[in-house]
């Protein structure tokens, strides 16, 4: 797949929930159902910006925590919901997570999830400036940022 220069992308940092691997659990549901819902709780990305990202192809880069190797995954989404998924295509651990926490958020329907090379991150800058993502990613606590490609990326 080729992502063109100037494409808007959501970069989303996540952590595992208890003993559950975020990537493994979501990948399993994706493989079984053809899509999987991800809940972004806490601070929610601007929905207008998410719509622009969706219009640009719906790309999200997911970053694992440092303790898990600082790996990156490319996801693609096709819809969002503030009211929850319209099916049960999400990891089963969400049921306990949703029961235990105050989890207002946005649900994002993922249709693709693939590990990517870390070098791809070198071709991303913050969308509200031209600062390289790698200059910022390990110095901020934010769980997400809006980025864009500086040139064509092949995954």
Residue-wise pLDDT for 71-112, tens only, equals 899 999 999 998 888 888 999 888 776 665 556 788 999 999
**Burial class of residue 57 (count of CB atoms within 10 Å of its CB; 0-12, 13-18, 19+):** middle
**pLDDT at position 101:** 58
Q: Does domain 2-150 have CATH number 3.30.70?
A: no
**pLDDT at position 139:** 76
Reported pTM: 0.88
Provide the residue ranges of all domains of the chain, joining segments of one domain with +.
2-150
Which of 18-22, 50-54, 121-125, 137-141 has maximum average pLDDT? 50-54
Check pLDDT > 60 for residue 67: yes
Higher pLDDT: 133 or 75? It is 75
Check pLDDT > 90 for residue 140: no
């Amino acid at each position: 797949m080729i992502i063109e220069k100037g494409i808007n992308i959501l970069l989303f940092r996540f952590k595992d929930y208890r003993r559950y691997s975020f990537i493994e659990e979501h990948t399993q549901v994706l493989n079984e159902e053809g899509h999987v819902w991800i809940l972004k709780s806490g601070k929610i990305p601007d929905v207008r910006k998410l719509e622009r990202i969706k219009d640009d192809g719906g790309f999200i880069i997911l970053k694992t925590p440092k303790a898990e190797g600082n790996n990156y995954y490319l996801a693609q989404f096709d819809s969002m919901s503030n009211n929850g998924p319209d099916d049960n295509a999400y990891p089963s651990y969400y049921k306990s997570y949703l029961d235990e926490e105050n989890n207002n958020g946005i649900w994002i329907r993922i249709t693709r999830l693939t590990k990517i090379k870390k070098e791809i991150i070198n071709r991303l800058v913050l969308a509200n400036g031209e600062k390289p993502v790698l200059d910022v990613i390990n110095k901020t606590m934010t769980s997400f940022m809006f980025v864009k490609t500086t040139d064509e990326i092949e995954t």
